[in-house]
Chains A and B, each alone.
Chain A
Amino acid sequence: MTTDSHGSSRGPEPVAADHDAHAYDGIIEHDNKLPLWWQLTLYGAIVFAMVYWFGRRLDAIETPLQAYTREVAVQRAADAEEARKRGTIDDAMLATLGKDPATIAQGKAVFTATCAPCHRADAGGNIGPNLTDPYWLHGSKPVDIFHTVHDGVPAKGMPTWGPQLGEDRVETVVAYVLSIRDANVAGGKAPQGALEE
Chain B
Amino acid sequence: MTAAADFPGSLAAAPGDFETRRIVYNDSISRWFVGASVVWGLVGMLVGALVALQLAWWHANLPPYFTYGRLRPLHTNAVIFAFVGNMMFAGIYYSTQRLVKARLPSDLLAKIHFWGWQAIIVSAAITLPLGITQGKEYAELEWPIDLAITAIWIVFAVQFFWTLARRTEKHLYVAIWFYIATILTVAVLHVVNSLAIPVFGFKSYSLFGGAKDALVQWWYGHNAVAFVLTTPILGIMYYFLPKAADRPVYSYRLSVVHFWSLIFVYIWAGPHHLLNTALPDWAQTLGTAFSVMLWAPSWGGMLNGLLTLKGAWGKVRTDPVLKFFVAALTFYGMATFEGPLLSFKSVNGLAHYTDWIIAHVHAGALGWNGLMAAGMFYWMVPRLYGRDLWSKKLADAHFWIGTFGILLYVISMWTSGITQGLMWRATDAHGALEYPNFVETLNAIRPMYWMRLIGGSMYLIGMFMMAYNLARTALAGKAVDGEATVVVERVVARETPWAEILFGKPVILVTTVTILIATMAVVNNEASLVLSSIVIVVAVLGTTALHLAVDRSRPRWHRLLEGRALLFSSLTIIAVLAGGVAELVPTLLVTPNDPQILAEARPYRALELEGRDIYVREGCYNCHSQMIRPFAFETKRYGDPSTLAESIYDHPFQWGSKRTGPDLAREGDKYPNVWHYRHLVDARSVSPGSNMPPFPRLVTDTVNLARTATKMHALQSIGVPYDDRQIAAARSDAEAQGAEIAKNLRDDGVAEVDAQSEIVALIAYLQRLGKHPPPARGPDVALTP
Contacts and interface: CB of A to CB of B under 8 A. Distances in A.
A25 B1 contact: yes
B285 A82 contact: no
B436 interface: yes
A168 B429 CA distance: 11
A15 B288 CA distance: 38
A31 B250 CA distance: 7
B631 interface: yes
Contacts of B554: 19
Interface stretch (A110-118, A140-148, A177-185): A110-118
Given A42-B261, A113-B440, A164-B637, A32 B307 contact: yes
Given A27-B173, A127-B686, A163-B636, A20 B532 contact: no
A157 B672 contact: yes
B555 A166 contact: no
B433 A35 contact: no
B674 A157 contact: yes
Interface residues of B, number: 91
A16 B553 CA distance: 13
B92 to A, nearest CB: 14
Contacts of B674: 127, 157
Contacts of B295: 41, 45
A29 B248 contact: yes
A71 B425 CA distance: 14
Nearest to B345: A64
Contacts of A53: 285-286, 289
Contacts of B99: 24-25
Contacts of A23: 6, 8
A36 interface: no
A128 B517 CA distance: 61
Interface stretch (B297-305, B472-480, B701-709): B297-305
A27 to B, nearest CB: 5
B525 A57 contact: yes
Contacts of A12: 248, 250, 310
Contact of A48 (B292, B678, B686): B292
Interface string B209-222: 00000000000000
User: Number of contact residues on A: which range applies?
Assistant: 35 or more
Contacts of A80: none
A77 to B, nearest CB: 12
Nearest to B307: A32
B630 A68 contact: yes
A186 interface: no
Interface string B90-125: 000001001101000000000000000000000000
Interface in A80-132: 82, 113-114, 116-118, 127
B739 interface: no
Contacts of B171: 20, 22, 24
Contacts of A34: 251, 253-254, 257
Given A25-B98, A32-B251, A57-B525, A165 B432 contact: yes
Nearest to B431: A75
Contacts of A166: 428, 430-433, 436
Contacts of B553: 19
Contacts of A32: 250-251, 253-254, 307
Given A68-B641, A166-B431, A22 B252 contact: yes
Interface string A43-86: 00110111011101110000111011101100100110010000
Nearest to B484: A25
B11 interface: yes
Contact of A157 (B254, B340, B345, B671): B671
Nearest to B238: A27
B20 to A, nearest CB: 17
Interface in A3-41: 3-4, 12, 15-35, 38-39, 41
Contact of B252 (A29, A39, A157): A29
Contacts of B631: 64, 68
B675 A118 contact: yes
A112 B531 CA distance: 63
A187 interface: no
B296 A127 contact: no
Contacts of B650: none
A19 B563 CA distance: 14
Nearest to A157: B672
Contact of A31 (B253, B555, B629): B253
Contacts of A161: 436
B537 interface: no
A123 B50 CA distance: 38
- Output the residue of A69, A82, A157 with the most chain B CB within 10 A: A157
B700 interface: no
A48 B307 CA distance: 27
- Output the residue of B299, B300, B311, B432 with the most chain A CB within 10 A: B432
Contact of B299 (A25, A41, A48, A82): A41
A56 B688 CA distance: 45
Contacts of A35: 303
B314 to A, nearest CB: 14
Contact of B528 (A27, A41, A57): A57
B490 interface: no
A41 B669 CA distance: 51
B239 interface: yes
- Output the residue of B248, B289, B345, B673 with the most chain A CB within 10 A: B248
Contacts of A163: 635-637, 639
Contacts of B555: 18-20
A116 B528 CA distance: 60
Contacts of A63: 281
A55 to B, nearest CB: 9
Nearest to B277: A64
Contacts of A28: 242, 248-249
A30 B11 contact: no
Nearest to A110: B436
A30 B252 contact: yes
B759 to A, nearest CB: 16
A64 B276 contact: yes
A157 B679 CA distance: 14
B433 A79 contact: no
A21 to B, nearest CB: 5
B670 interface: yes
Nearest to B98: A25
Nearest to A117: B686
Nearest to A113: B437
B399 interface: no
B765 to A, nearest CB: 17
Contacts of B307: 32
B299 A33 contact: no
Given A20-B11, A57-B525, A75-B431, A114 B436 contact: yes
Interface string B536-552: 00000000000000001
Contacts of A75: 431, 632
B150 interface: no
B428 to A, nearest CB: 7
Nearest to A55: B285
A32 B297 CA distance: 16
A23 B10 CA distance: 13
A52 B288 contact: yes
Interface in B226-267: 239, 242-243, 248-255, 257, 261
B556 A18 contact: yes
Nearest to A26: B6
A58 B525 contact: yes
7 contacts: A18-B555, A24-B169, A25-B243, A28-B249, A30-B252, A32-B253, A45-B340
Given A127-B672, A160-B670, 16 more contacts: A4-B311, A26-B6, A27-B249, A30-B251, A32-B253, A38-B299, A42-B297, A48-B293, A56-B282, A64-B345, A68-B630, A117-B686, A127-B674, A157-B671, A168-B430, A169-B432
Closest 8 CB pairs of A and B: A166-B432, A157-B672, A68-B630, A42-B296, A49-B289, A28-B248, A24-B173, A32-B251
